Amino acid sequence: MEGKRSSSERSVLLRKIREFTRAIVEDLSNGRSPIVLIDRFRNYCTNQDAICYCSSDLLNGKETLTLRRESHVHRLDVLLRVLLIVQKLLQENRHGSKRDIYYMHPSVFSEQSVVDRAINDICILMQCSRHNLNVVSVGKGLVMGWIRFLENRRKFDCINRPNMAHPIPVHVEEVKDIVSVAHYILVVEKESVFERLANDQFCNANRCIVITGRGYPDIPTRRFLRLLIDKLCLPAYCLVDCDPYGFDILTTYRFGSMQMAYDAKYLRCPEVCWLGAFPSDSEKYCLPQQCLLPLTAQDRRKIEAMLNRCYLQRDVPKWRLELELMLQRGVKFEIEALSVHSLSFLSQEYIPSKIQGGVHI
């Protein structure tokens, strides 16, 4: 569903919106209850015994919305209100954030997640990506290292100062003229780790590109990583906390999220390898007991649910083994725990030895 926002594409989207709304008006004028069919997608299932096609972007059935069901009335109201806002954005060639849209009708929308679902429904109905609707995310990702590029005539020159953080562009489709002499891309979960690497001059010493989504990555961060992998053909590694949430962030980069499974083809990065931190690293790097935290009941439930995802068994069985080990040992630890050896252990020992020694899965 990916694509650039050219004037012709805006015209196509506006035509689709007009046709969709006209059909609803005609149904209402003729005394019929409109029926809206929304395709459903998934990027994994929990059936590990059967042949699974979740990674093939196949439909997972349809959802039927109708005014005859009271529970659907509000949802259709929200969908049409958001669609009207999107239509105006496209007509005026302006952009708005999800939060902007929410505040246009806060009493009707009630909470942000209601708007988010409507935007996803509209993308599916119009067969496009969110950025094609001129709905943008407030970017939070950062990049540094051996890369230079342009975005809408604005120059990002990270090469000149490889250890200085730059914001990841929100309009990724407008990024062009990418130049890099990096050897690999490193994705780190947390801003604190990103800053540690910057302070240690990591990019100077290792000639790489470092990206962080500052937790669960937003869409621009995921799209930007996908773009760099496609354009530069570099290996990509991911470093996350050794806990269930770090692992979930890792799978979001590699396999995409269920919420946006309809667009997973353009958001996931199957090339990403897991660099750490592995549950087995606690013994390998002799972490003291004080650095290990017990898994909570909620942690255990999350791990057990993730273990059922079909892609772990099918695509990355070694990841699944490490996740099982985390559950078996009943402990977790943060990346920063490696600093118990020295403040720069992560940048000078842990990451270089894993990449040079091929210790990633």
Beta strands in 25-174 (DSSP E): 35-41, 59-66, 96-97, 135-136, 142-145, 147-151, 154-157, 166-167
What pLDDT score does 68 carry? 83
Ramachandran quadrant class, 66 (left: phi over 0; alpha: psi -120 to 50; beta: rest): beta
Residues of the chain by 3-state class (helix, strand, coil), percent to 5? 50, 15, 30
Contact predicate 235/253, CB 8 Å:
no
| pLDDT bracket for residue 49 (50, 70, 90) | low
Quick one: pLDDT at residue 301?
Answer: 96
pLDDT for position 264: 86
Catalytic hit among 53, 103, 237, 266: 103
Side chain identity at residue 311, one-letter code: Y
CB atoms within 10 A of CB 167: 12
pTM of the complete model beyond 0.85: yes
Determine which of 19-33, 57-71, 165-179, 331-345 has the lowest per-residue pLDDT on average: 57-71
How many angstroms from the chain centroid is the CA of residue 277? Answer: 20
Interval 200-246: pLDDT, tens: 999 999 999 999 999 999 999 999 999 999 999 999 999 999 999 99
Could you tell me if residue 327 is left (phi over 0), alpha (psi between -120 and 50 degrees) or otherwise beta?
alpha
As a whole number, the mean pLDDT across the chain is 90
pLDDT-based confidence at residue 46 (cuts at 50, 70, 90): confident
Q: Answer yes or no: are the C-beta atoms of 312 and 295 closer than 8 Å.
A: no
Identify the pLDDT of residue 20.
Answer: 93
pLDDT more than 70, % of the chain: 95
Q: Which tokens in the block code for residue 301?
A: 């439930």
pLDDT of residue 44: 84
Going by C-alpha positions, the residue among 350, 355, 352 that lies closest to residue 205 is: 352
In the residue annotation, 285 being an active-site residue is answered as no
Angle between helices 244-255 and 219-232 (to 10 degrees): 50
For the chain, which domains are there?
2-136 (1.10.10.10), 142-357 (3.40.1360.10)
Mean pLDDT value across residues 21-27: 90
Model confidence pLDDT, tens digit, residues 112-143: 999 999 999 999 999 999 889 999 877 789 99
Q: How confident is the model at residue 1 (pLDDT cuts 50, 70, 90)?
A: very low
| Per-residue pLDDT reduced to its tens digit, 284-323 | 998 899 999 999 999 999 999 999 998 998 899 999 999 9
Angle between helices 7-29 and 112-126 (to 10 degrees): 100
Say yes or no to pLDDT of 3 above 60.
no
pLDDT tens digit sequence for 158-203: 898 999 999 999 889 889 999 999 999 999 999 999 999 999 999 9
Predicted confidence band at 360 (pLDDT cuts at 50, 70, 90)? confident
Please say whether the beta carbons of 193 and 212 come within 8 A. yes
Is pLDDT at 55 greater than 80 in this prediction?
A: no
Residue 67 has pLDDT above 90, yes or no: no
